[in-house]
Chain A
Amino acid sequence: GENVEQHPSTLSVQEGDSAVIKCTYSDSASNYFPWYKQELGKRPQLIIDIRSNVGEKKDQRIAVTLNKTAKHFSLHITETQPEDSAVYFCAASKGNYGQNFVFGPGTRLSVLP
């Protein structure tokens, strides 16, 4: 089955710097890759997602890149702010029919003022 790895497990950056979180997946059939942000004590919330027919997607300070050949995708946050501090989860799914999502173990991001 699918296996999703995520690195780093923790990441500290200075406010205003960029943060990059990387995930790899094992199943080449996976074609949907969402990223979720979970603040302490709250539910995970989708922040951005990408499908395998797209190499990059951007939404304001957040971008995701996908390398299908290497089977990895990355979350990029620019101009980080303290409110970006949270745990970020990547996930991989096989497609349009709501099949199993496999989540990465998470990255705890701390943005230091």
Chain B
Amino acid sequence: GAGVSQSPSNKVTEKGKDVELRCDPISGHTALYWYRQSLGQGLEFLIYFQGNSAPDKSGLPSDRFSAERTGGSVSTLTIQRTQQEDSAVYLCASSQLFGTSGRTSTDTQYFGPGTRLTVL
């Protein structure tokens, strides 16, 4: 079936502009995560949505970052007044909390292809 999709795949913006990044999780997955990955670095947790619960925003680096998830499905990550240090690949992942999926655990996160953000 369809995996996690993200758009745009690449985004170049000027410093100070706002950007919106979109994530379409796998249908039926109730959990959705956003991560940031700088060049050659690991995965930095940003925010986590689970069903109708309040999101865990503990990883957001500043109040310029926000995210929402409408209807328990699509999520958008918004970065206001972008800075050069915001340049990175932004990865979205979703997971299914109940049911089975073969040999993998129900916590398995499936990643999208990422959005490469470049702030000039």
Contact = CB atoms under 8 A, between A and B. Distances in A.
Interface of A: 32, 34, 36, 42-46, 49, 51, 59, 89, 93, 95-106
Q: Which of A42, A49, A101 has the most CB of B within 10 A?
A: A101
Contacts of B104: 46, 49
Contacts of B45: 100-103
Given A32-B105, A46-B104, A103-B45, 7 more contacts: A42-B113, A43-B111, A59-B103, A98-B50, A99-B56, A103-B35, A105-B42
Interface in B77-111: 91, 95, 97, 103-111
A104 B114 contact: no
A42 B114 CA distance: 8
A31 to B, nearest CB: 10
B41 interface: yes
A98 B58 contact: no
Contacts of B59: 100
Nearest to B56: A100
A51 to B, nearest CB: 7
A106 B114 CA distance: 18
B31 interface: yes
B120 interface: no
B65 interface: no
